[in-house]
Structure 1
Amino acid sequence: MVDAGLAREYRARLAELLGEPLMVDDPLITTAQAAVLFGVPPLRVAGLIRAGHLPARSRSHRRLLLSDVIQSGLDRWMSVTEAGVVLGVGDTGVRRMITAGLLTAHGKTLPLRRDDVDVLARLRMGWLTLSAAATKLGVDVIEVHQMLRNGALTHTCDVARPVYGYELSRLLAGRSGRLVPAAAAE
Structure 2
Amino acid sequence: MVDELVREYRARLAELLGEPLMVDDPLITTAQAAVLLGVPPLRVAGLIRAGHLPARSRAHRRLLLSDVVQSGLDRWMSVTEAGVVLGVGDSGVRRMITAGLLRAHGKLLPLRRTDVEVLAQLREGWLTLSTAATKLGVDALEVHQMLRTGVLTHTCDVARPVYGYELSRVLAVRSGRVA
- TM-score, normalising length: structure 1: 0.89
Report the Cα distance in structure 2 between the residues aligned to 1:13 and 1:176, rounded to whole angstroms: 65
Once the two structures are TM-superposed, the CA of residue 173 in structure 1 deviates from its matched residue by 2.3
Counterpart position of 1:43: 42
Which amino acid in the other structure matches residue 154 of structure 2?
H
Counterpart position of 2:69: 70
CA contact (8 A) 1:47 1:111 kept: no
Distance 1:36 1:68, change over 3 A: same
- TM-score, normalising length: structure 2: 0.92
Report the Cα distance in structure 2 between the residues aligned to 1:135 and 1:107, rounded to whole angstroms: 40
- Structure 2, unaligned runs of 5 or more: none
Counterpart position of 1:80: 79
Report the Cα distance in structure 2 between the residues aligned to 1:131 and 1:176, rounded to whole angstroms: 21
Indicate the SS of the match to 1:71: helix
Counterpart position of 2:165: 166
- Cα offsets for 1:30-86 (capped at 9, x unmatched): 112111211222222111111011111222322211111111100111111100000
Once the two structures are TM-superposed, the CA of residue 177 in structure 1 deviates from its matched residue by 3.0
Once the two structures are TM-superposed, the CA of residue 110 in structure 1 deviates from its matched residue by 4.5
Counterpart position of 2:144: 145
Which amino acid in the other structure matches residue 18 of structure 1?
L
Indicate the SS of the match to 1:12: helix
Report the Cα distance in structure 1 between the residues aligned to 2:165 and 2:14, rounded to whole angstroms: 52
Whether 1:90 and 2:89 are equivalent positions in the alignment is yes
How many equivalent residue pairs? Answer: 178
Report the Cα distance in structure 1 between the residues aligned to 2:140 and 2:166, rounded to whole angstroms: 16
Counterpart position of 1:61: 60
Report the Cα distance in structure 2 between the residues aligned to 1:156 and 1:110, rounded to whole angstroms: 25
Report the Cα distance in structure 2 between the residues aligned to 1:50 and 1:65, rounded to whole angstroms: 16
CA contact (8 A) 2:48 2:55 kept: yes
Report the Cα distance in structure 1 between the residues aligned to 2:147 and 2:82, rounded to whole angstroms: 27
Counterpart position of 1:115: 114
RMSD of the TM alignment (CA)? 1.6
- Cα offsets for 1:151-177 (capped at 9, x unmatched): 000000111111000001211122223
Q: Identical aligned pairs, as a percentage?
A: 87
Report the Cα distance in structure 1 between the residues aligned to 2:16 and 2:120, rounded to whole angstroms: 35
Which amino acid in the other structure matches residue 8 of structure 2?
E
Moved more, 35-44 or 152-161: 35-44
- Cα offsets for 1:109-166 (capped at 9, x unmatched): 3521111100000000000111111111111111111000000000001111110000
- Structure 1, unaligned runs of 5 or more: 180-186
Indicate the SS of the match to 1:146: helix
